[in-house]
Amino acid sequence: MKIPSKWDYEVDVAVLGFGGAGVTVATSLVEKGAKVLVLEKESFGGGDANTLAFAPLIFTVSDEAKALEYLRWCTAGRTEDEVLLANMEALQEVPDYIRKMKLPLREEPFKIFPYGEYVNAPGYGGLGQMMMFHNVPGGPAFFNAQAALAKEMGVEVMYSTPATRLIQDPDTNAVIGVYAKRNNREDIAVKAKKATIIATGGFAFNKEMLKQYISPAPTLWMGAKACTGDGIIMAQAVGAQLWHMDGKCGPMYWGIEVDNQLVYATWEVFIPDAAFYKQGSFIWVNKYGKRFDSEASKTIEENDFHRMRLREKYFAFDPKGTAEMKNIPAFQIFDEKARTAGGALVRILNPATPPWSEGGVEEIKKGWILKGDTIEELAKKCKFNAIDGVTRAGNIPSDVLRETVDRWNANCQAGEDPDFGRDAGLLPIDTPPYYAMGPMFPTFTSTFGGPKHDGKQRVLDAYNDPIPRLYAIGDCGSLNAYMYGFWGGTHMLTSALIAAKHAVNEQPWS
């Protein structure tokens, strides 16, 4: 690529993206004396679902050897030890970073539960306790505190200015700057004398990349629509190697999409607390009208927190019978007593998801909730479109749904669920009218794949050599793979702190 004859801006470090990782690295760099410019695609900051939907969860290393063994198992050996060790070490810096935001902290963190979802995995317990620091807000409030600190420290952010291409020295292959479109119109060239750091998130809203890397089945996402894989594509253009492109963050949810907007996301009810779930007269059925799992449980310990055990069920395929996926799409079936139990019908876990009305009154009017005076009438309304490689078009068979509901009601009468062992909310679906939410599809928070990096967050080429002056952080090429193990909200912080430490020490190019 031709080097610009004139640079519009000159800084030490250019940061691409102002989400949780971008704001952390920018603040850390400025604190270390670097001149920084952040280029943000949107007219606002906030980033991906790991920033906006979840609180900062911090854990400690109680046994380094065991912790490394556990993370190796969680990532299925797809992440080098130097990367895992670097992030384990960076955990020690996270509390100090949070304190700089003037958020109140306990001297002894509040322990939620022993860290690690997979209690029988090798090395379990090496990461000590999972903790959430007392009075540290999660989601948007935490990002707002980050952004306030960045503003106080003088971090310059250009909003509505997406980076478009990295500028690479043809002789050294070093990334020396970036092209962007200021106000989405004017082409500008930013000279980055020390480094360029990609913090653009994943590719959850790039439909072509999803089809190639994630699954032929539609998957819905809780993250920011700005996450269209821009940083990944730019990194590829300068020779970056990719990794973990099949990685997905978050528990298994069921979601509903209307007009390209995620309007509903639910997961297994670990501890039924909302009135709807306490009422209990609901089940999940697949497109054939059959239950396929326990929808609720009293205790979190009885279930895999990340729903890994269900991924096989959700994406199960029937090669000998229908040649379709068995359980995609799915529908949630419930009755009038559940609808009127009080409160909202759904747990909104994502700030990007609009709130629902009490009892779903408005959603029924919009057609987001289907309604039938009988189970048979409801089944006919539970329609779904054809999806290549997944399903033919159709609707739930009336007779099968009737049979499923009758069996559920009989099990409730007997006080047990011999089919799937559900132990909470065993109440019959017997009060008309009847309702359905769907079609529902597997829903995640964000993707993990992107440019591969080393223990310093330097992007690597196809030969595992660092591309000079180029770094990637956060969900853009996360260390996480398979069952991950290093929670996204935490990795967002540790990867940024690592990159800042090394990028600031790069020698300026001339």
**Which pLDDT score is estimated for 249?**
81
Q: Are residues 185 and 274 in the same domain?
A: no
pLDDT band at 171 (very low <50, low <70, confident <90, very high): very high
Opening angle at CA 93, ends 92 and 99, nearest 5: 120
**Which pLDDT score is estimated for 109?**
57
The tokens for 380 are: 């006919």
Q: Are residues 453 and 470 in the same domain?
A: yes
Q: Are residues 170 and 309 in the same domain?
A: no
Residue 45 pLDDT more than 90? no
Q: Are residues 303 and 349 in the same domain?
A: yes
Q: How many domains does the chain have?
A: 2
Residue 272 pLDDT more than 50? no
Helix (H, G, I), strand (E, B) or coil at 436: strand
pLDDT digits (tens, 9 = 90+) for 202-255: 999 999 999 899 877 788 888 788 899 999 999 999 999 999 999 888 766 788
Range of the domain at 240: 9-53+137-248+445-503
Q: Are residues 297 and 234 in the same domain?
A: no
Predicted TM-score (pTM) of the model is: 0.91
Contact 176, 168 (CB under 8 A): yes
* Domain annotation covers residue 152: yes
**Which pLDDT score is estimated for 305?**
44
- Domain of 477: which CATH number? 3.50.50.60
Residue 303 pLDDT more than 60? no
Q: Are residues 170 and 32 in the same domain?
A: yes
Residues 327-342, mean pLDDT to the nearest whole number: 91
Residues 352-377, mean pLDDT to the nearest whole number: 89
On average, the pLDDT of the chain sits at 87
Helix (H, G, I), strand (E, B) or coil at 384: strand
Q: Are residues 280 and 211 in the same domain?
A: no
CA pair distance 168, 175, nearest whole angstrom: 4
Task: Identify the CA nearest to 483 among candidates 248, 300, 268.
Answer: 248
* Domain annotation covers residue 489: yes
Strands 220-221 and 434-444, sheet pairing: parallel
Q: Are residues 174 and 38 in the same domain?
A: yes
CA pair distance 47, 53, nearest whole angstrom: 10
Of all residues in the chain, the percent with pLDDT exceeding 90 is 58
* Domain annotation covers residue 115: no
Single out the residue in 397, 425, 443 at which a domain terminates: 443
pLDDT digits (tens, 9 = 90+) for 466-508: 999 999 999 999 999 887 778 767 889 999 999 999 999 999 9
Q: Are residues 175 and 262 in the same domain?
A: no
Sign for the pseudo-dihedral over CA of 379, 383, 386, 389: negative
pLDDT digits (tens, 9 = 90+) for 58-85: 778 889 999 999 999 989 999 999 999 9
Q: Are residues 421 and 309 in the same domain?
A: yes
The tokens for 158 are: 């250009």
Q: Are residues 371 and 309 in the same domain?
A: yes
Q: Say if residue 125 is exposed, middle or buried (CB neighbours under 10 Å; 0-12, 13-18, 19+).
A: middle
Strand-pair partners of 324 = 318
